Structure formats: structure tokens, C-alpha cells
A and B are shown apart, each in its own frame.
Chain A
Amino acid sequence: MKKRYVDRLVRGAMRLATYFVVAVIAYILIDIIVNGLPAISWQFLTGVPRRGGAQGGIFPAIVGTIYLVAGTIVVALPIGMATAVYLSEYARQGRFTRTVRLAIITLAGVPSIVFGLFGLGVFVLFFGFGASILAGSLTLACMVLPIIVVASEEALRAIPQYLREGSLALGAGKWQTIQKNVLPYAIPGMITGSVLSIGRAAGETAPILFTVAAFYLPNLPRSVFDQVMVLPYHLYVLATQHPAAEQVRPMQYGTALVLVTLVLSVNLGAILLRIHFRRKYRW
């Protein structure tokens, strides 16, 4: 008798927790869509902000965000994947790899504002990149690197050992084996994990605060050394720094909607990519 009550209680509690999670997501999305949709217009998406963002559009911020995400991918993906391949395929497992893994996990836990200050100190000031797309991308890349490494290593470790042995036994070299019989199967997982983390980084404000984000810059960047407007920072400014925060509410919601859509489409891209690769390589 008692067992049945316990079971029922546990199941009920867990279901409640699940509903709670769904409710939070649904509330956020519905709130943003309902309030943001009216603000969306052709002019909003393609225009430049006017009167401190109270009117006009957010085009420069959209472009800036896209540049920043692209820059982050270009920097972080190759380095992260190479690290993962080294750790999982080449490095002798032992104290060294344990230390590196510990460092990576620690790095993943560092608050984003610390990355922001690090980026300011190293990329903006020390290397003299100034507040720029370059400095911002590098900062975001540092932030997502640990996640990319962990996700990629997991994807590599999911590849059964017999595929490596089978290839080596045929006389393939180590790199040939990795290139022909490990990476093709691991890359979908590596990319998916990595892109998801980059999508998350695209919404961060703290790391870009000092390294790239411009408060108001209607011109589009001409090189990687230019500052840009970025959606999360624009949203932050509209919501907290604007003298008439109440009046620009629709602009805030519109910006939030665009930002969420952008991040979700990056994620969707990752998922589509995975489906494509899954179809190509099955085992």
C-alpha cells in the first residue's frame, strides 16, 4: 500500500517539475512574441536606430551580432575541435590530460563578466585591438572554447574503438585513421554541441560589454577593428539606460524577439546539420 503512494507522489512531483520547466519557457516565449511582434516591421529590421533607439530600427545591431557569431565560430571551432582531437586521440591519458580537463571544466564555470574583463585586458588593451569585432569574437571564443572541447571530446569518445583498430590494422596511419574513419562520424556531434554553445554565447552581454559593443553606431563596420552594435547590449541599454525606458518598451520587446529568433535559428541550423550527417553515416 505504502509503496504505491510513494510511487504516485514521486511521479507527481517529477511531472510537476517538468510542467514548471515547460511553463517557464512558454511564458518567456509567449511574452516576447506577443509584445514583440507588433514592433516588428520592415523598417525595424532594416533601419538604423534614431533618437537613442526610441525610434527607427535595429539593423546595425543585427548585423553586428551576426558578425560576432561568425567571428566566434571561425576562431573557436577549429581550436576547440583540434584540442578535443588531441586530448581524445593523441594525448597519453594520464596526469597531463587530467590536468587539462580540470582546467577546461574550471574555465567553463568562470562567470561571463570575468571573460569580459579578461577580453578588455588582453585583447582590447594589451594586444591593442581596441573595442572591436576582433576583440569581441576572441573574447566570446574564449568563453565557448571549454564547452566546444567537452562536447567534441564526447562526440569523439562515442566513436567505437573497433573503427580505429580496424583502420590501423589495414595499415592506415594515425592521422589517416582519424581523418577517414573517426572524424567523419564524430563531426556531426562535434558541430552540434559547438554550435549550440555558440548560439548561447550570441545572447551574452557581459563578455561584449567592454570588448566590442557600441551604444549607438548607425554605420555598419568596415573591418574587424570596428566597433559594432550588438543585440543583447542594445536590449540592455534600451531597458535600463534609456531615459524613457517605459516609452521604448515595444522596441525592447522587438529587439528581444529578433535576438531569440536569431539564437533559435542558429540552434535549428545545428540540428538540421546533425540530421543531414546522421543520414550520411549510419551504424
Chain B
Amino acid sequence: MVEGFKPKIRTVDVDFFYGKVQALFKISLEIPEKQVTALIGPSGCGKSTFLRTLNRMNDIIDGTRLEGKVTIDGQDIYAPGTDVVTLRRRVGMVFQKSNPFPKSVFDNVAYGPRIFGMKDRRRLGEIVERSLERAGLWLEVKDRLRHNAMQLSGGQQQRLCIARALAVDPDIILMDEPASALDPLSTSRIEDLISELRRNYTIVIVTHNMQQAARVSDYTAFFYEGRLIEFDQTEQLFTRPTEKRTEDYITGRFG
């Protein structure tokens, strides 16, 4: 569809079902490496469902089924024998509701590395510091590493969740409306952070906020009723959409 980039994730004719209800129809999309790709569309259009197919988070819901193909670096992630644990280590996720664990700041960030068997306290400390630094949170929490993460502000909690995702060293970060519950200042900090992270990570972000998509993303995919309507460079899509429905949506005529 779009020329001149190296695809990191490729989906081919992805259909997705919740029981008998089909939520995604023939989604074929190539997500470029080390770029920010925004998924936009009205509520219930399938953008979050699609995002969750990329790290197989939908697997944990009973009765879901995927048809078609999703590849990351050319590897089919739904192929039999795929190790979901390794996959999720490579594909980090940040949720809409910031969900720090009711543990200390340190234990939150160290959760992933510990899951993978790291016990060395010095190494853990380094990873925690580096991850918090990358998430732009280190200076704010370096004296409160032992405090319960629930005491942080909403914006700090969300950046903590980003640091937690970074701690396992993923190449891809999925973000499901990461700023929708935050005040404008915290939102802009998250957006700055996203721009920062795109140098090293492939980022896919679901957002309801069109300005946000325009601000932070390089590519934008517009979803509507479970279908991919249009996918293009963000600037292109927002200034010269080729589809009528895209234009209607981004100009605020519906949704």
C-alpha cells in the first residue's frame, strides 16, 4: 500500500471472531519498523481488537478465533508451536487504564525481568534505572523506588507502565489509548515520550484523539466497522484522504 518502508509487522486477510461475532474483516496491513503507526476510528471499529491480535492478548478471552496471517519479522506469530511468552516479550503493551501493580515502583519495573529469571540485584537495578530513564520518569521517582506505585500520579503511573514494558527489551510497543485517562499536561508528556521512543521501537498506538494521531504518528490506519478503510502516511491521510468515510471521520462528521 505505502511504498518505501521496511515492514515490521504484516497482517494478511485477518478475520477475528468473538464467538460467532466477527469483529475484524480481512485486515491486511504492513506496519513499518521504527515508526509510529496510529490506529484510529470510532468506538467499536475493531482497532483495539486488532492491536491485541499483534501480541495475542486476545488469546486469553474464551471463544475467540483468528483467521489469516500475522507475521512479525516474517515469522507467523499464530503458527502452531509459537511461544506466546517469547512473543509478548518482543511485543510490549501499554494499556488504556494505567495498570501499575500494587507493588513498589522498583518491583513494577523489575517484574518482567524477574519473570524471565533475572535475580542479580545489581543487574535488576540497572535495568530499572535505564527503563525509568527511557520512560522519562527516573528523576521523579529515583528517591521513591520503594514506594507503592499506586501513590504516583496518573501520568506517572502510565509512564511507569511504559517503563515496565521497556524493561523486557521489546522491539515493538503496542499502546491502547495510553493517554485517554490523563490530563492535558500528562498527555503531552506521553506524546513527547512516544516521539522519543520511535527512534528505537516500532510503536502501534490506538487513539480516539485525532489531533493526537496527527501529532505523534508517521502512519495512520483508519478502521471502520471492523474493516481497514484507509492506510497511509499520517500527513497524507489527514490532508488528502482518498476515502469518503475517512474524510467524514477526520473532519468530525461522525464518530
Contacts and interface: CB of A to CB of B under 8 A. Distances in A.
B89 A171 contact: yes
A17 interface: no
A281 B62 CA distance: 29
Contact of A282 (B60, B89, B95, B150): B150
A94 B86 CA distance: 30
A283 to B, nearest CB: 4
A170 B102 contact: no
B10 to A, nearest CB: 21
A172 B83 CA distance: 12
A283 B150 contact: yes
B126 to A, nearest CB: 18
B115 A168 contact: no
B102 A171 contact: no
A167 B115 CA distance: 9
A180 B89 CA distance: 17
B88 A168 contact: yes
A166 B102 CA distance: 12
Contact of B101 (A168, A173, A181): A181
A167 B62 CA distance: 18
Interface size bracket, B side: 20 to 34
B60 A171 contact: no
A185 interface: yes
Contacts of A168: 57, 60, 88
Nearest to B102: A283
B168 interface: yes
Contacts of A93: 62
Contacts of A172: 85, 111-112, 115
Interface size bracket, A side: 20 to 34
A21 interface: no
Nearest to A92: B62
Nearest to B111: A170
Interface string A144-181: 00000000000000001011111111111100100011
B254 interface: no
A170 B148 contact: no
Contact of A173 (B85, B97, B99, B102): B85
9 contacts: A165-B57, A166-B101, A169-B93, A170-B112, A171-B85, A172-B111, A173-B115, A180-B115, A282-B102
Interface of A: 92-94, 160, 162-173, 176, 180-181, 185, 281-283
Interface of B: 55, 57, 60, 62, 85-89, 92-93, 95, 97, 99, 101-103, 111-112, 115-116, 148, 150, 161, 164-165, 168
5 nearest A-B pairs in the assembled complex, by CB-CB distance: A283-B102, A171-B89, A162-B99, A169-B93, A170-B112
